[in-house]
């Protein structure tokens, strides 16, 4: 249509009789006509060229103007409509997303589902200097993603993550992709994502959140998929918080949880029974966990089904009356763990009316209700999404950390206290960072040193390069060799190839240790206390006259 309008306008303009400056007849050339029509149709209007127009020409100009401008407006309208077409917008967004994923050069994870847990996990991944690619089917969440202040921009795609092509676009086959984390609200989707991911790239880690035993059973059959059961995780954390509060503080502190400082006074474990408000999937998990450590529980819930091993239960809403019936005054603690935040806060109000020394532990379901929960004076707020996100993060950055916690729980609590005191002394208020190192290609210095016949011990790695007799703030937590983990290894433990070491260090010393592991010169200095000659000439001199070079330890 544009072309027709242009053709008519240009030919007409060229045919209209005109006069030149001297009054001789003159017709516009086709090029001039095209030039004139272009600026007329786009409403630019540079004036009459090459000479002043005759009336015939002006008449035709009027026709051109209306015709051309209308055609242009129509064309612009169509273009805008096309640009606003949701399918086109989506196609462009997906294309952009795919390109930005292809350009990633650092290791990254794919996070499917950007709800509470997903966003908390992404925040954690960002804090640890890693990248994540996010897929969520909710457009609003992806839009919100762009506004977050992550250290690096995290590409986000609004799509169904269980469709394989979207996983491929998100970089599941990218050489730097480390794993897929399925955190969708829908269990079946998570399962689908996990299965797809296994097929698309068997090399990567697959982590999948689930809440139902049916799915969990199914997943155990799939090799290479790590399952995180939110409720069981929550319940075991809760049990640890109750029976080993120091260990709980320690494990929260390792992951850098806010508000967990090492010298926070501990609540003493009281004798007595625990009251559980809410006996759904979560409540029953908590009850089972408590039963394993022989804690008596009283369940308060309006609907108590599948009681199983529950000995005492009160079938009622948890109000003042039923809490009195459950003997809150003499209870060791109260776990408010229903699936509704409003109910939980309401139960807390009832509980505050009692004059009781019971520990109050409350479950927070929605991240957005944080302020209200912080205002309620309770001993511990546990947020399922936060617990899940932290555990996944810990698994990602330090897989052997779970062994450390489990080990500390199984041995004498004095060891935990000892570790706590040691950490308190060396870290003070500094935030800890977990450093997991695999001895191999990433640590050329260790390989080089062992090729030179040196024995590398943990003590050598964590030695201060500036002061040979001092240690960095870097505590070795575990060493994994042949898939066997030794917790709190001694500093004299020798390091071999393919060992996985786990340290807890300050950010500054994490960098120092990483430098040591990469620089052969520095490591051999730390091991022997002597500086190796670096140039050819001095190497030769050292071979010829060994006594000349280094006479004393630095």
Partner 1 sequence: MNLERVVFGFFIVLALALNVVFVIGDIENPEYHSVWVLTAAIFVSLIATGLKLGDRTQVGAILLGTSLVSDMLLIIARVIWIVQVEDGGAPNAGDMVAIVSWAGGALVANLISATVLASDALMSRH
Residue span binding partner 1 (CB under 8 A) among the ranges 280-288, 316-324, 358-366, 525-533: 525-533
Radius of gyration of the chain (CA): 35
Question: Could you tell me the smallest distance in angstroms from the CB atom of residue 441 to partner 1?
Answer: 17
- Residue 539 makes contact with partner 1 by CB under 8 A: yes
Among 192, 209, 433, 522, binds partner 1 (CB under 8 A): 522
DSSP 483: T
Q: Least separation, in Å, of the C-beta of 459 and partner 1?
A: 16
Residue range at the interface with partner 1 (CB under 8 A); choices 145-153, 253-261, 353-361, 546-554: 546-554
At residue 273, what are phi and psi to the nearest 5 degrees?
-95, 160
Shortest spacing between CB 116 and partner 1, in angstroms: 44
Q: Which is nearer to partner 1, 351 or 517 (CB)?
A: 517
Which range touches partner 1 (CB under 8 A), out of 273-281, 345-353, 383-391, 530-538? 530-538
DSSP state of 337: -
Are 181 and 109 a contacting pair, CB within 8 Å? yes
- 377 lines the binding site for partner 1 (CB under 8 A): no
Q: Which stretch binds partner 1 (CB under 8 A): 14-22, 159-167, 218-226, 533-541?
A: 533-541
User: Judging by beta carbons within 10 Å of its beta carbon (0-12, 13-18, 19+), is residue 296 exposed, middle or buried?
Assistant: middle
474 near partner 1, rule: CB under 8 A: no
Residue 548 contacts partner 1 per CB under 8 A: yes
Does 223 contact partner 1 by CB under 8 A?
no
Q: Using CA atoms, how far apart are residues 76 and 8, in angstroms rounded to an integer?
A: 20
* Site for partner 1 contains 466 (CB under 8 A): yes
Local structure of 237: helix, strand or coil: helix
| Residue pair 322/300 in contact by the 8 Å Cβ criterion | yes
Residue 511 touches partner 1, criterion: CB under 8 A? no
Choice between 152 and 541, CB closer to partner 1: 541
Q: Which residues are CB-neighbours of 6 under 8 A, at least 6 positions away?
A: 34, 37, 41, 68
Q: Which is nearer to partner 1, 409 or 532 (CB)?
A: 532
Cβ 468 to partner 1 shortest distance, Å: 8
CA distance 93 to 494: 52
Rounded to the nearest whole angstrom, what is the least distance from the CB of residue 471 to partner 1 in the complex?
15
- Residue 468 as a binder of partner 1 (CB under 8 A): the answer is yes
Q: Is 547 in the site for partner 1 (CB under 8 A)?
A: no
Among 71-79, 115-123, 426-434, 544-552, the segment contacting partner 1 (CB under 8 A): 544-552
Identify the residue whose tokens are 């809440």.
211
533 part of the interface to partner 1, by CB under 8 A? yes
Give whichever of 280 and 465 is closer to partner 1, judged by the CB atom: 465
Q: Are strands 274-277 and 333-336 parallel, antiparallel or unpaired?
A: parallel
Q: Which span sits near partner 1 by CB under 8 A: 109-117, 166-174, 258-266, 465-473?
A: 465-473
Binding map of partner 1 across residues 140-179, x = CB under 8 A, - = no contact: ----------------------------------------
What is the DSSP secondary-structure string of 152-185? Answer: SPPPEEES-TTSHHHHHHTTTTSTTEEEEEE--S
Contact pattern from residue 29 through residue 48 relative to partner 1, giving x for each residue in contact according to CB under 8 A and a dash for the rest: --------------------
Measured in residues, the chain has a length of 554
Please state, in angstroms and rounded to a whole number, the distance separating the CA atoms of residues 344 and 365. Answer: 9
CB of 466 to partner 1, least distance (A): 5
87 vs 545, beta carbon nearer partner 1: 545
- 538 is an interface residue for partner 1 by CB under 8 A: yes
Question: Closest approach of Cβ 542 to partner 1, in Å?
Answer: 9
Work out how close the CB of 534 gets to partner 1 at its nearest, in angstroms, rounded to a whole number: 4
10 Å Cβ neighbour count for 126? 18
CB 516 within 8 A of CB 445: yes
Choice from 44, 84, 410, 534 touching partner 1 (CB under 8 A): 534
Does 469 sit near partner 1 (CB under 8 A)? Answer: no
* Residue pair 382/483 in contact by the 8 Å Cβ criterion: no
How does strand 205-210 pair with strand 333-336? unpaired
- With tokens 């109750």, the residue in question is 242
Judged by CB under 8 A, the residue of 453, 535, 544, 546 near partner 1 is: 535
Residue 327 CB neighbour total at 10 angstroms: 16
Distance of CA 372 to CAs 41, 317, 340, 345, 389, Å? 62, 21, 13, 8, 21
CA angle 273/239/389 to nearest 5° reads: 145
Q: How far is C-alpha 546 from the geometric centre of its chain's CA atoms?
A: 53
Residues that bind partner 1 (CB under 8 A): 465-468, 519-522, 525, 531, 533-539, 541, 548-552, 554
């Amino acid at each position: 249509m544009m072309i027709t309008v242009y053709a008519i306008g240009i030919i007409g303009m060229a045919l209209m009789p005109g006069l030149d400056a001297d009054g001789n007849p003159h017709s516009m050339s086709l090029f001039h006509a095209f030039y004139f029509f272009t600026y007329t149709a786009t409403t630019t209007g540079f004036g009459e060229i090459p000479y002043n127009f005759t009336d015939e020409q002006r008449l035709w100009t009027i026709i051109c103007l209306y015709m051309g401008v209308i055609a242009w407006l129509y064309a612009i309208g169509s273009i805008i409509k096309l640009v606003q077409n949701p399918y086109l917008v989506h196609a462009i967004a997906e294309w952009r997303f795919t390109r930005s994923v292809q350009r990633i050069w650092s290791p990254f994870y794919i996070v499917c589902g950007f709800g509470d847990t997903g966003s908390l996990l992404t925040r954690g991944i960002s804090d640890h200097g890693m990248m994540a690619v996010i897929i969520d089917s909710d457009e609003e969440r992806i839009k919100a993603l762009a506004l977050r202040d992550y250290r690096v921009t995290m590409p986000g795609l609004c799509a169904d993550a269980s469709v394989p092509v979207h996983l491929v676009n998100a970089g599941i086959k990218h050489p730097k992709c480390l794993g897929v984390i399925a955190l969708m609200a829908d269990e079946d989707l998570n399962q689908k994502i996990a299965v797809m991911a296994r097929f698309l790239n068997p090399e990567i880690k697959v982590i999948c959140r689930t809440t139902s035993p049916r799915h969990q059973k199914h997943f155990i059959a799939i090799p290479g998929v790590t399952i995180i059961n939110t409720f069981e995780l929550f319940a075991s954390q809760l049990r640890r918080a109750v029976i080993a509060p120091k260990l709980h503080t320690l494990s929260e502190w390792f992951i850098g949880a806010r508000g967990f400082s090492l010298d926070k006074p501990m609540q003493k474990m009281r004798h007595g029974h625990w009251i559980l408000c809410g006996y759904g999937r979560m409540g029953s998990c908590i009850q089972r966990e408590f039963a394993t450590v022989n804690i008596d529980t009283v369940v308060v819930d309006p609907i108590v089904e599948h009681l199983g091993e529950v000995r005492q239960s009160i079938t009622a809403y948890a109000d003042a009356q039923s809490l009195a019936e459950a003997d809150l005054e003499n209870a060791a603690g109260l776990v408010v763990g229903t699936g509704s935040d409003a109910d939980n806060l309401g139960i807390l109000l009832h509980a505050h009316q009692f004059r009781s020394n019971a520990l109050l532990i409350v479950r927070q379901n929605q991240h957005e209700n944080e302020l209200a929960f912080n205002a309620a004076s309770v001993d511990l707020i546990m947020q399922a999404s936060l617990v899940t996100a932290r555990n996944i993060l810990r698994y990602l950055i330090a897989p052997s950390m779970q062994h450390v916690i489990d080990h500390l729980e199984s041995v004498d609590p004095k060891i935990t206290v000892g570790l706590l005191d040691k950490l308190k002394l060396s870290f003070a208020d500094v935030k800890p960072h977990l450093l997991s190192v695999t001895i191999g290609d990433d640590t050329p210095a260790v390989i080089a040193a062992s090729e030179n016949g040196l024995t590398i011990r943990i003590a050598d790695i964590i030695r201060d390069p500036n002061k040979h007799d001092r240690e960095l703030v870097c505590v070795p937590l575990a060493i994994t060799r042949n898939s066997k983990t030794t917790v709190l290894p001694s500093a004299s433990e020798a390091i071999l190839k393919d060992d996985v070491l786990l340290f807890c260090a300050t950010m500054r010393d994490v960098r120092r240790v990483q430098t040591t592991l990469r620089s052969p010169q520095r490591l051999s200095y730390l091991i022997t206390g002597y500086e190796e000659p670096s140039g050819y000439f001095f190497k030769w001199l050292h071979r010829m006259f060994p006594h000349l070079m280094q006479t004393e330890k630095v």
